[in-house]
């Protein structure tokens, strides 16, 4: 049985740009061994960059290789973090090189202003950090920053790969009791529970190698 082909866009974006990039490539949750990849799809690239406010001149074919390298780097780092393993030093260095590509300018401005209006006496002030330029390096660095924030400030126990062994979807568990196990409970959660139930049924003949069920579709963030 083949799973349905996924559409070019997820139903929902993650809370972290790095996870959206990492999840642009995923394994079929039904266990067919198929790998889906949205990175080569112009529609996905345009929607991803627009969603995260990364307005760059081009997200064309020439950008796919850069994004694929960044995706592989971030996946290694985030998986190591989630598993409680030491982060590969070479990967941390590669991430730091990306972060260093975009200088930041600091500006003191009236709070709430766009930076254009002069401050009046009594205005509250804020210190803003703005990128020195908004080019391709900046866009890559912004995605890298979202991963760096997770690695520096996130809780490793909340960063997970879906508990369905066939599914490679990563998520950061924002729930209060940190109990989320699935990319989508109604998809991978239901699938795994149905398979467990069938494998326990006498005479089911499945012996832990269950068939995919037609009731299981890709989760919200997936096709």
Binding region for Zn ion (CB under 5 A): 29, 162, 164, 167, 169, 183, 188
Q: 7 or 110: whose CB is closer to Zn ion?
A: 7
Q: Give the number of residues written for the chain.
A: 223
Q: Cβ 93 to Zn ion, closest distance in Å?
A: 31
Q: Which two tokens stand for residue 70?
A: 């960044």
Q: Cβ 219 to Zn ion, closest distance in Å?
A: 6
User: 3-class SS at 191?
Assistant: helix
Q: 102 or 164: whose CB is closer to Zn ion?
A: 164
Q: Which DSSP helix (H) or strand (E) runs through 26?
A: strand 25-27
Phi and psi, residue 70, nearest 5° = -65, -40
Question: Distance between CA atoms of 164 and 27, rounded to whole angstroms?
Answer: 11
Q: 143 or 183: whose CB is closer to Zn ion?
A: 183
Q: Cβ 166 to Zn ion, closest distance in Å?
A: 8
Q: 35 or 125: whose CB is closer to Zn ion?
A: 35
Q: Cβ 165 to Zn ion, closest distance in Å?
A: 10
Q: Which of 182, 215, 210, 187 is nearest to 198 (CA)?
A: 210
Q: How does DSSP classify residue 61? A: G
Question: Distance between CA atoms of 45 and 21, rounded to whole angstroms?
Answer: 9
Q: How does DSSP classify residue 34? A: -
Beta strands in 140-198 (DSSP E): 159-161, 170-172
Q: 149 or 211: whose CB is closer to Zn ion?
A: 211
């Amino acid at each position: 049985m083949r799973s349905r082909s996924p559409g070019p866009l997820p139903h929902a974006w993650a809370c972290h740009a790095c996870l959206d990039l990492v999840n642009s490539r995923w394994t079929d949750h039904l266990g067919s061994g198929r790998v889906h990849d949205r990175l080569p799809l112009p529609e996905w690239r345009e929607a991803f960059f627009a969603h995260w406010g990364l307005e760059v001149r081009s997200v064309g074919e020439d950008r796919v290789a850069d994004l694929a390298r960044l995706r592989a780097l971030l996946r290694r780092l985030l998986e190591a973090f989630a598993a409680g393993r030491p982060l590969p030093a070479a990967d941390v260095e590669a991430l730091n090189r990306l972060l260093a590509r975009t200088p930041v300018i600091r500006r003191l401005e009236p709070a709430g202003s766009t930076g254009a209006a002069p401050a009046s006496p009594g205005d509250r002030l804020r210190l803003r950090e703005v990128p020195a330029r908004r080019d391709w390096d900046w866009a890559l660095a912004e995605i890298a920053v979202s991963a760096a924030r997770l690695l520096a400030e996130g809780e490793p126990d909340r960063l997970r790969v879906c508990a369905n062994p066939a599914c490679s979807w990563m998520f950061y568990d924002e729930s209060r009791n940190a109990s989320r196990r699935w990319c989508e409970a109604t998809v991978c959660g239901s699938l795994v529970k149905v398979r467990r139930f069938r494998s326990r049924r006498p005479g089911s003949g499945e012996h832990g190698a269950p068939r995919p069920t037609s009731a299981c579709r890709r989760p919200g963030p997936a096709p």
